[in-house]
Amino acid sequence: MIWQNSEQIRHTLETTFNEILDKRMRELPVVNFALSVQAVGFSRFGEDWLGVLITPWFMNLMLLPGADSTWREQQPGIKIDKHFPYGAFEFTLGREAQIGIYALCSLFSPMFQFENQAAALAAAESALQGLLAETAPRAVSRRDLLRGAIGKGNR
Amino acid sequence: MNETFYDVMRRQGITRRSFLKFCSLTAASLGLSPAFAPKIAHAMETKPRIPVLWLHGLECTCCSESFIRSGHPLAKDVILSMLSLDYDDTIMAAAGHNAEAIVDEIVEKYKGNYILAVEGNAPLGEDGMYCIIGGKPFVEQLKYAAESCKAIISWGSCASWGCVQAAKPNPTRATPTHKIPGLADKPIIKVPGCPPIAEVMTAVVAYLLTFEKLPTLDRQGRPQMFYSQRIHDKCYRRPHFDAGQFVEHWDDEAARQGHCLYKMGCKGPTTYNACSTMRWNEGVSFPIQSGHGCIGCSEDGFWDKGGFYQRLTDINDFGIEANADTVGGTAATVVGVGIAAHAGLTALNRSKKSGDKQTGAEQQ
């Protein structure tokens, strides 16, 4: 699969994983029905496309290969290391008929701690921003968190 | 008596080249950058070796078996001499009164400065008579040795949680180390697993000995560098879980294709351990790779959590609260968008490669 733009990627991922949800996952107790499939980001990062995929049963960092990605010919199940401004992450390769080869790094699974899609989306966006931020995100103390001293802009 | 680790290793015929190789392997298994290898080497060359008392309560010796088969090429030579296992009733040469005298000697000679490693646990029922060492209940030996030690390592699920001998109805009242009434208040490192991974065991000890402090522990007392992620997070079959491809019956087509074992009762989604990253037998394989689900052997009370082939079915099974870093303490449900953003960053840090984490072993 040759990926052209973010729009195409998000559409393909959402279509594919909605089908997986309907056909293979729906009856399983790992599904949080308050959530839906949503692809977040998927702009270029080096040779690859980087984004976060939210589904009712997992949230992963996800890479899709560009034409020059060295790992596009690798086998599913293989692990690769990727470096980001935030640090090094290990990705596992997978393959799906409509998507081809992709790389994932788990953030959450299952997804029961998210009450709704807005919360899942906020977590996905903050993870994606954190990953690409030049300086590592500030550690938030529990005291600050409870006093509401962080995230003033998005309360 | 004031020998360093390095002296001991040289005396055992280990070359300097092998010694340095061991140091870099140890740094790697601790998730430290290669820059730490010289630091470990320096510590081993200059610090006097610290004695380790290794006590055995109710156990099956699988922790010892795992430990002495550590995957480092040098482990069989190095580890045992390096750790200075002055007392380990399974592998020491002394027996009978001579052996028990070693415990007294270490307690006296190295007061406050030895590591107490505990394999297995103490049964408290019938005044401890279900486990007798040298004519006395094991719990007495344990308390005596704990009184003067520097820190305690609870090896394996027995010492950490209780394991099979503490499974319901626990007829002998087998009790994990940290729950022994009247035990001296010493730092306890839990290294659960049945057995724990050999490299994890050697790395934990090497860390204690070289840095002379405890590795960062999670809320349950486990070293964060090895127990911060679940088998499920780093499983090589994870793409099949995500794609809804599951083994339905043993030896069906999906099993042959190596699909996800969740429906066959795999406990990977609820088990914190390093099996899917470090693997076993020198990194050769781990249960899921050989076609069987994870049985969750490093989790508290794993014998009482239903059958090994029973599927995880409800939210409680998944123990959302299980991660030590989860926002707001136990059973947190993410309610607000602000907190969700924090959870995203926490997950990001957790998913990072261990040598790269913000709070962890590398902060020296």
Judge whether B60 is annotated as a binding position: yes
Judge whether B232 is annotated as a binding position: yes
| B82 — pLDDT class (breaks 50, 70, 90) | low
Q: Please say whether the beta carbons of B178 and B216 come within 8 A.
A: no
Judge whether B260 is annotated as a binding position: yes
- Residues 108-167, chain B: which have Cβ within 8 Å of A? none
Judge whether B62 is annotated as a binding position: no
Judge whether B158 is annotated as a binding position: yes
- Residues 318-337, chain B: which have Cβ within 8 Å of A? 318, 320, 326-328, 332-337
Average pLDDT over residues B60-75: 75
B5-226 has which CATH code? 3.40.50.700
Residue that wins the pLDDT comparison between B28 and A96: A96
> According to the 3-state scheme, what is the secondary structure of chain B?
CCCEHHHHHHHCCCCHHHHHHHHHHHHHHCCCCHHHHHHHHHHHHHCECCCEEEEECECCCHHHHHHCCCCCCCHHHHHHHHHCEEEECCCCCCCHHHHHHHHHHHHHHCCCCCEEEEECEEECHHHHCCCEECCEEHHHHHHHHHHCCCEEEEEHHHHHCCHHHHCCCCCCCEECHHHCCCCCCCCEEEECCCCCCHHHHHHHHHHHHHHCCCCCECCCCCEHHHHCCEHHHHCCCHHHHHCCCECCCCCCHHHHHCCECHHHCCCHHHCECCHHHHCECCCCECHHHHCCCCCCCCCCCHHHCCCCCCCCCCHHHHCHHHCCCCCCCCCCCECCHHHHHHHHHHHHHHHECHHHCCCCCCCC
Percent of chain A with pLDDT over 90: 74
- The reply to whether residue A113 touches residue B236, judged by beta carbons under 8 angstroms, is no
| A148 — pLDDT class (breaks 50, 70, 90) | low
Partner residue opposite B334 with nearest CB, options A95, A106, A113: A113
ipTM over 0.90: no
- The reply to whether residue B348 touches residue A109, judged by beta carbons under 8 angstroms, is no
Closest-CA residue of chain A to B353: A89
A:B CB pairs within 8 Å: 160
Partner residue opposite A25 with nearest CB, options B244, B351, B358: B244
B322-335 pLDDT per residue, tens: 443 433 333 445 55
For CA atoms B182, B186, B187, B189, give the dihedral sign: negative
Contacts of A123 in chain B (CB under 8 A): 334, 340-341, 343-344, 347
B157 pLDDT more than 80: yes
Percent of chain B with pLDDT over 90: 45
List all residues 6 or more positions away from A65 whose beta carbon is below 8 Å from its beta carbon: A3, A47, A48, A49, A71, A72, A100, A101, A102, A103
- The reply to whether residue B353 touches residue A87, judged by beta carbons under 8 angstroms, is yes
Closest-CA residue of chain A to B357: A87
Task: Encode burial over B228-238: b for 16+ CB neighbours within 10 A, e otherwise.
Answer: bbbbbbbbbbb
- Residues 240-259, chain B: which have Cβ within 8 Å of A? 240-246, 258
Contacts of A122 in chain B (CB under 8 A): 337-338, 340-341, 344
B168-225 pLDDT per residue, tens: 999 999 999 999 999 999 999 999 999 999 888 888 887 887 788 899 999 999 998 8
Report the topology of domain B229-324: Cytochrome-c3 Hydrogenase; Chain A, domain 2 (4.10.480)
Residue that wins the pLDDT comparison between B125 and A134: B125
B123 pLDDT more than 60: yes
A153 pLDDT more than 50: no
Query: According to the model, what pLDDT value does residue B166 have?
Result: 96
Give the count of beta carbons closer than 10 Å to the beta carbon of residue B324. Answer: 16
What is chain A's alpha carbon radius of gyration, rounded to the nearest angstrom?
16
Task: Out of A6-20, B120-134, B315-329, pick the least confident.
Answer: B315-329
- Residues 273-292, chain B: which have Cβ within 8 Å of A? 277
Query: According to the model, what pLDDT value does residue B103 have?
Result: 87
Query: According to the model, what pLDDT value does residue B364 have?
Result: 30
- The reply to whether residue B352 touches residue A126, judged by beta carbons under 8 angstroms, is no
B33-54 pLDDT per residue, tens: 778 888 888 887 887 777 888 8
Q: Please say whether the beta carbons of B21 and B74 come within 8 A.
A: yes
Query: According to the model, what pLDDT value does residue B94 have?
Result: 78
- The reply to whether residue B233 touches residue A140, judged by beta carbons under 8 angstroms, is no
| B75 — pLDDT class (breaks 50, 70, 90) | low
B286-296 pLDDT per residue, tens: 999 999 999 99
- The reply to whether residue B340 touches residue A119, judged by beta carbons under 8 angstroms, is yes
B226 pLDDT more than 80: yes
pTM of the predicted protein model: 0.85
**Cα B308 from chain centroid (whole Å):** 21
- The reply to whether residue A107 touches residue B344, judged by beta carbons under 8 angstroms, is yes
Give domain limits for chain A. 6-154
Closest-CA residue of chain A to B240: A94
Partner residue opposite B244 with nearest CB, options A20, A150, A155: A20
Reduced to 3 states (helix: H, G, I; strand: E, B; else coil), residue A118 is helix
A47-63 pLDDT per residue, tens: 999 999 999 999 999 99
**Residue with the two structure tokens 């802009």:** A153
Query: According to the model, what pLDDT value does residue B83 have?
Result: 57
Query: According to the model, what pLDDT value does residue B200 have?
Result: 87
User: CA angle at residue B61 from B217 to B130, to 5 degrees?
Assistant: 100
Query: According to the model, what pLDDT value does residue B323 have?
Result: 41
- The reply to whether residue B243 touches residue A30, judged by beta carbons under 8 angstroms, is no
| A152 — pLDDT class (breaks 50, 70, 90) | very low
B132 pLDDT more than 70: yes
**Residue with the two structure tokens 């780093």:** B234
Query: According to the model, what pLDDT value does residue B86 have?
Result: 64
For domain A6-154, give its CATH number from 3.50.50.60, 3.30.1460.40, 3.30.300.30, 2.40.50.40: 3.30.1460.40
Q: Which amino acid is at A65?
A: P
Q: Which of B173, B92, B189 is nearest to B131 (CA)?
A: B173
A98-142 pLDDT per residue, tens: 999 999 999 999 898 898 999 999 999 999 999 998 655 556 666
Token pair for residue B239?
């793409």
Closest-CA residue of chain B to A111: B320
Closest-CA residue of chain B to A16: B243
Query: According to the model, what pLDDT value does residue B314 have?
Result: 57
